[in-house]
Amino acid sequence: MAWHANGQFDPVEDTPFITSPTNTPVGLDIASSEDTQDGHPIGNEDAVWKKDHAITVAEHDKDTNQEPQKKKWWQKGKKKKEKKEKPPAVAFKALFRFADWKDKCLMCFSFVCATIVGASLPAFCYLFGALMNDLNNATAQEIEQKTNEICLIMTLIGVAEWVLCTLYVAAIEVSSARQMRILRTTFFSSILKQEVAFFDGEKSGELTNRLSSDVQIISGLMGVKIANLVQYVATFFFAYAFAFWQSWRLTLIMLCVMPIMAVCGGIMAKLVANFTTKAQDTYATAGGIAQEVLSSIRTVQAFCAMERECERYGVKITEVEKVGIKKGFWLGMSQGVTFFVLFGSYALAFYYGSYLIEWGLNTGGTVVAVFFSVLIGAFQMGAAGPIFTDIAQARGAAYHVYHIIDRHPSMVVDDPTSEKLESLQGQIEFNHVAFRYPSRSDVPIFNDLNLTIKPGQTVALVGPSGSGKSSIISLIERFYDVEGGNITVDGVQLQKLNLQWWREQIGIVTQEPTLFSASVLDNIKYANPAATQEDIIQACKDAYIHDVISKLPNGYDTQVGEGGSQLSGGQKQRVAIARAIIKNPKILLLDEATSALDRQSEMIVQEALQNVMRGRTVITIAHRLVTIQDADLICYIEPRDPSAPEGSYASFSHLLESGSHKVLVAQNGAYARMWNTQMQAEQGPESPGSPSSPSVLKKHGLTFEQANEEVFHDVEESAGNKQGKRDKAKAKAENKKSKLASLKRTAKLNKPEWCWVTLGVIASAIAGTSYPIYAVLFSEVVNVFYQPNIREEVWKWCLLFVGLGTLNLISIVVKLYCLNYAGEKLTTRLRAMLFRALVHMEIGFFDMPGNESGALCARLASDTTEIQHLWGGAIGTNVQAGVCLVMGIIIAFIVSWNLALVTASAVPAMILAGIINTKFMFGFNQKSGTAFEAAQQVATESISGCRTVFAFNMQKAQVTRYDSLLEGPRRQALIKGIVSGFFFGFSQFIIFGAFALSYWYGGQLVADGTLTFDQVLKCSFALLMGAMGVGEVYSMAGDQTSAVQAADRVYEILDRVPAIDTTAGGQVLAQVQGSGSFKDVGFSYPSRPDVKILRHLNLDFASGQRIALLGSTGCGKSTIISLLMRYYDPTRGDIDIDGVALKDLDVNKWRDRIGIVSQEPVLFDDTIEANIKYGKPDATEAEVHLAAKRAHMHQTIMSLPDGYKTQVGAKGSQLSGGQKQRVAIARCIIRKPQVLLLDEATSALDNVSEREVQAALDEIITADRMTVITVAHRLTTIKNCNMIVIMDHGKILEQGTHEELYALGGDYKRRYDQYYGL
C-alpha cells in the first residue's frame, strides 16, 4: 500500500493483504506459518478462527479423533487445572501496520518533540533543587537574584514547550488521520474481497458495527494520546535518570515500590482488555439487531413488534452494561492501589531522606529535587495509565479488524495467475456438478447435475420454488464453488478463469434488485464506470425508464434513497435492467427480471429485453411460462424429495426434463403439466372478432414511444429534487444547543442513579483535596529538612502521607466504581431510549437523507457512549479538578493573599484558551461526524447488498466512494492539529509562566521581608496542584466537545415528536368490520412534498369485499397500501375505517387487525419458526404449523434437517424467493387479520405454488370474512375480486367487477387482452 507521488491514495489497488514474510498475519498470534494442512498454511484457513480465535492442543486432539491417554495410577484423583485462554489481541506494533514512510517521519518528528517536552519538567526539578540549596541562609539580595534567574529560565522553557506542543500535536494528528483513513478503507476493502459464503456465516450488522465502533477505538488511541504517552514516558525516564544522578540511594529506595505498581498496571491492562473485548463482542450482536430492525422498519411496524425489538435489543445492551460495571470496579481498584503505593513511597522517601541529610550524604535541596523528580515521573506514569488502558482496548479491537483484513478469501477476484479468454463464445457446461451451500452443508442441492448451454442460446430454468434454479445462477456467477464435478466455460474450468473478468462478461437482473443510496446515474454507472452519459441514456431507453428519469427535477442526478426507497418496485427493476444492459454483457442472467412489472410494462420491457438478448447467451428464470416459451432450451428442475432415502437420486434436485417448449409439451411430462395448469388458470374470455395477434402493441396501434408514454408518464413516485432541504435548515438551527442544556438533560436522565452519582462526586471531591493537602505536607517536610531536629519531626509528616494515600485509595475506588456504574446505566438507558424512539418514528422519518439505517446505528453505537464524557466519569474528573483548583487557591490566599492574587492572574488566560480550543474542536468534530456517518452508510449498503456488489464488480467503486468521504476529515486533520496543539501548548506555557511569575514576585516579597521562602514555596505548590487539576480538565476538552455533539444528535431524535405517534393511543374499534373510504385524498411523500402522488382520490370498500388495485408501475397503488397501514397520513382529505377517521384510531391496535404481505418480504436473521411467530408472538407450535401448511411451506420446512429451527440468514438469504414469500404469507395469516393487504404477494411463486397458495388464501379469506385489498400484475389473481380499480397518474380511471370493466371496453379491457394475447 502506498501514497502515490501526487499525494493520492488508491484504496483498492494499494490495499493488498498485509502479512509477514511467512504469510502469517502481522501481530496475530495464531498458528505457525510452517504448520500446514492439505498443503495450505493453517493460518490462512478461516476455520482457525474459532470462538477463542485459537486452536488448542485439546481441540486438535479432539478434531483428529485421538483417544485421550489413560491416567497413571499416581495421577488418579488429581484434577488438572485448565489454563485459561488469553484475551485475543494484536501486538502493539501491529497497530501501526498502515503507516507509510511519511507517517513514520511525522510520528518520529512528533515523538522527538514530545520527548523534548517530556524533559522540561525534570529540568525544572534540577533548577528547583539548585534554588533550594542556594537560598538556604542566603541574603535578601541573593534570593532576589536567584529567583529572577529561575523565572527567566522557566519562561524560556514555557515558550519552547508551547512551540513544541503545537508541532507534535499537529504532526501526530495528520499521521493519525492518514493511517485511520487507510485502515478504514483497507478494512472495508477486505470485507468486500471476501466470498459470498463468508457473508452467509456473518451477520451484516456485526460487520458494519466492527467497521464503526472497533475502528473508532483504534482511532481514539492513534492521535494525540500516543504522542502524550511518549511525552509521559520521556518525562518518567528523564526524571528518574536525574534522580539517580542526584542521589542513587534515595532513588533506589523509592524505586522499590515499582514492582508493586507494575503488577497493578498489568492486572488493570489484562482485566480491561478482557472486559473490553467481551463488551465489544456483546455490542456487536446488539448492533446487528439494531441494523436489522432499522433497515426493516416497515415490517417491524407492520407487525407492531417495536416493543419486542426494544426488549431484544435491551437484553444485549444490559449484558454490555454488566461488563462495563465490572471493568469500572477493577479500574478503580488498580488506580487506587497505585496511588496508595505512591504516597507510601513518598513517606518512605522523606523518612530515609532525613537520614541521608543527617549523615551528610545529601543536602535538603538534593533530597527535595530527587523526590520532586521521582514524584513527577510517577505522576506522568499515572497519567499514562488510561492510555495503556486505551492501548489494551485498541489491541483487542484491532484483533477483530485484522482478522478480516488478513483473512484469505477462498475466491480471489483478480488473481493475476488466472486465465482470461481471448474470445468468449459463451458455452457453459455443468459436468456432474455436486453442490450444497456452505452455511447449510447438511442440505444437499445437486449431486450429479449435467447441463450444456450453447453460445447465443436462451435457456430457461423452470420448476417449483426451492428446486435450485437460483443456485444455478449463483454457480454461474461463481458466488460459490461446486463441491464435486466442474463447470466449464468454452472448455475451460470456471475456477481457473479470472473472476473479475468473468463477472464483467455477465449481466444480471434479480427478482429483488438492490440499489444504493446514490443518484440514478451512479447506480447505473457502477456496472460500467467507463460508460458515457450517452451510453447510460441509451441503456435507460432500452429499459424504458429514460422518460421517467428525464422528467424528474434533478433528472439522472436524482437520489434514489436507501435501497432505492424513493422509487417504486417497477422503477427499481427497470433501473436494474438498465444497469445490466450498460455492461453490454456476453451472458445475461435474468432471475424473474420482470416480476415487479404490470403486464403492459412487462410486455414492453420483454420486447426491449428481446433486443438486448440477441447474440448473447441468456439464462432466465421465470414462473410465467408464457414469457419463456420461445426459449431455445427449457430445463425443468425437479426439487429434492425430503422423504427420499439419503443419498438416493430423488434426495437431490435434478434436471428432470429439457428441450424446446414444443418438445416438452409433446412429452406430456412435468413441464407439460405445469404449462397446462398455468394455461387453465390464465384462460381468457371468449372474444369473437378479437383474433390473436403476434404483436399486442401493433394490434392496439401503439408504437414503442406511445406505449412508453402511456406506461411511464407518472413520475410522482420518483425522488424529488428538494430532499432534505428543510431538514438541513432545521439541523443548522438546532445545532446551537448549549453545553449547559445538554449537561442538565443528561443529569436528569441519570436521576435514578443520583445516589451513586452523589457518592461518586463526594469521593471525587475528597480525591481532589489530595493534591493541595500534598502541597502543604510537602512544603512542611521541605521546611523540616532545614531544621536541627529533623528526625523528631519528619516521622509525623510521613504518617500523614500514608494517611493521605489511604484516603486516595478509598476515594478513587468509590469514585470510579460509582460514576462508572452511573455512566454505564446512563449509556444503557440512552441506547434503549434512542432505539425505542427510532423504532416508533413514522416511516417518513427514515425516508429523509441522513436517517439511513447505517447512520442511525452509528449513533446508537458511538453517540450514546460519547455522552459519558459529558457526565459519568467526566463530572467526577471536573469536580476533582475543580476542588483541587479551589482548595489550592484557598490555601495560597491563606498563606499570602497578595502572592496568590498575582499568581492566580494566569488562570483566566488558561480558561480562555480552553474555551477557544473547545469551540474549534466542536466545529471540527461536527464536520468529521457527518463525513463518517455518510461513509458508514456506504459500508452498510455495500455489505448488506454484497451479491450485487460482487455481480457488477463494484468493489472498487464502493471502496473509492467510501474513501472519498474520508478525505474531508483527513484534510481537516492538519488545521485541527495546529489549533489543538497551539492551545494545548499555550496551557502548558501558562503553567510555567504562572510559576515564573509566582517565584519572581515571591522573591520580591522575601527580599522585602514580607514572606519567608517556605511560605512562597507553600503558596506556589498549592497553586501548582490546582493548575495540574485544570490541565487535567482541559486535556479532556476534545472528548467533552464530542460529547456535546453526540448529545445534540441524540436529544434531537429523542425530542422529535413522530408525525404518526404509535404510543399516543387513540380510539379502539371493538370489532373491525373492514369497511372504509378514501375521501378526496391527496398525498405527497414527506421527503418530496412538491411531488403529488395521489390526487383527489375517492374510493369506498365494504366489509368482506376483495378490492384489486391495478395500474402501471408507479401510479400510486402501493401508496394506498402504505396509507392504510398508516405509514403516512394524507396531505389532504380523510380516510375512514368503519366510519371512524383512521388518524383517530390507535395505530397499534389498528395494525394488529391488519395482515400484510409485500412484494419484497423481509425476514429476520432467526429461525423459520421465529419468523412465522413474528406475526403472533404467543402462537403455539400447532398454530405455526397450520399457518405454514396453509402457505404450502410445511413440507419444505420439514425437509430441512433443523425443520422449523432452521436459520433463514440475513434478510432470508438462505431461502429461495418463493420460500421467503411463503414464510411471509404464513407470518401474515397466523395473525388471522380482519383486513388483508397483499402487494404482489405471490409474485415470487411458480404457477403451481401460486395456485395452491391462492386457493389457500381464498379459503381463509372466505372463512374469516376478511376485507382484502390486493395489488397484482397477474390478472389471474384478481379476476374474481368484487371490485377492480384501475389507477393512473394518482387517480382512478375505472372501477367495477371484471365483467363490468371488460364490457366497458376501456383501459382494463386493453390490459386484459394484452395479458392473454387476445
Q: How many distinct helices (H) and strands (E) make up the chain?
A: 49, 22
Query: Once rounded to an integer, what is the mean pLDDT over residues 863-867?
Result: 78
Q: Do 198 and 847 contact (CB within 8 A), yes or no?
A: no
Q: Taking the CB of residue 523, how many other CB atoms lie within 10 A of it?
A: 25
d(CA 288, CA 212): 12
Whether 173 and 119 have beta carbons less than 8 Å apart is answered as no
| Cell numbers given for 172 | 501526530
Query: In a 3-state reduction of DSSP, which class is residue 413?
Result: coil
Provide the 8-state DSSP code for 11. Answer: T
At 162-206, the pLDDT tens digits run: 899 888 888 888 888 888 888 988 999 998 998 888 888 776 567
Mean of the per-residue pLDDT values for the chain?
Answer: 77
In one letter, which amino acid is 83?
A: K
* Confidence at 680, pLDDT banded by 50, 70, 90: low
Whole-number pLDDT of residue 147: 79
Pick the range with the lowest mean pLDDT from 150-164, 304-318, 337-351, 408-422. 337-351
Check if the beta carbon of residue 394 is closer than 8 Å to that of residue 160.
no
Q: Which of 364-373, 463-472, 1135-1144 has the lowest mean pLDDT?
A: 364-373
Q: How confident is the model at residue 476 (pLDDT cuts 50, 70, 90)?
A: very high
Residue 730 has pLDDT above 60, yes or no: no
Question: Per-residue pLDDT for 19 more than 70?
Answer: no
Q: What confidence score (pLDDT) does residue 30 get? A: 33
Least confident range of 401-410, 696-705, 1126-1135: 696-705
> Residue 571: is its pLDDT beyond 50?
yes
Please report, for residues 443, 637, 638, 736, the alpha-carbon distance to residue 651 in angstroms, rounded to integers and kept in the order given: 10, 13, 10, 66
Taking residues 1218-1222, report their average pLDDT. Answer: 81
Distance CA 248, CA 254 (A): 10
**Highest-pLDDT range among 213-222, 1006-1015, 1020-1029, 1066-1075:** 1066-1075
pLDDT at residue 20, as a whole number = 34
HSE, side-chain direction, 13 A CA sphere, residue 97:
27
Confidence of residue 13 (pLDDT cuts 50, 70, 90): very low
Q: Are strands 1291-1296 and 1283-1288 parallel, antiparallel or unpaired?
A: antiparallel
The DSSP symbol for 863 reads: I
Please give the pLDDT value at position 1023.
72
Residue 54 has pLDDT above 50, yes or no: no
CA dihedral 1059, 1060, 1064, 1066 (to 10 degrees): 130
- Comparing CA positions, the residue from 1049, 853, 860, 838 lying closest to residue 938 is 853
Does residue 861 carry a pLDDT above 90? no
What is the SS3 assignment for 1213?
coil
pLDDT band for position 860 (cuts 50, 70, 90): confident
Maximum average pLDDT range among 224-238, 841-855, 1199-1213: 224-238
Residue 488 has pLDDT above 90, yes or no: yes
Task: Find out whether 1235 and 1072 touch, Cβ atoms under 8 Å.
Answer: yes
pTM, 2 dp = 0.62
Highest mean pLDDT: which range of 200-214, 816-830, 910-924, 964-978? 816-830
Least confident of 26-35, 441-450, 1276-1285: 26-35
pLDDT band at 78 (very low <50, low <70, confident <90, very high): very low
Locate 763 and state its grid cell: 469521593
Which has the higher per-residue pLDDT, 1013 or 1066? Answer: 1066
Give the DSSP per-residue string, 229-251.
Answer: HHHHHHHHHHHHHHHHHH-HHHH
3-class SS at 420? coil
Q: Which residue type occupies 441? A: S
DSSP code string of 339-358: HHHHHHHHHHHHHHHHHHHH
- 14 vs 1060 pLDDT, higher one: 1060
- Total residue count of the chain as it appears in this document: 1318
CA distances to 258, 1040, 1148, 1168, 1254 from 1223, rounded to whole Å, are 65, 48, 23, 7, 14
Which one has a higher pLDDT value, 861 or 44?
861
Reported as a single tens digit per residue, the pLDDT across 785-807 is 777 777 777 778 888 888 888 88
Average pLDDT estimate for 631-647: 84
Confidence category of residue 434, pLDDT binned at 50, 70, 90: very high
Contact present, 18 and 26 (Cβ < 8 Å): yes
Residue 1294 has pLDDT above 60, yes or no: yes
CB 884 within 8 A of CB 978: no
Provide, rounded to the nearest whole percent, the portion of the chain with pLDDT above 70: 81
Q: In 3-state terms, what secondary structure has residue 1082?
A: strand
- Please say whether the beta carbons of 787 and 824 come within 8 A: no
In terms of average pLDDT, the best of 311-315, 749-753, 1286-1290 is 311-315
Sequence letter at residue 1034: Y
Q: Is 429 helix (H, G, I), strand (E, B) or coil?
A: strand
How far apart CA 90 and CA 796 sit, in angstroms, is 49
Decide if pLDDT at 1288 tops 70: yes
Residue 294 near residue 838, CB atoms below 8 Å: yes
For residue 544, give Cα distances in angstroms to 593, 700, 1201, 1266, 1289: 14, 19, 45, 38, 17
Q: Which of 5, 227, 387, 103 is nearest to 970 (CA)?
A: 103
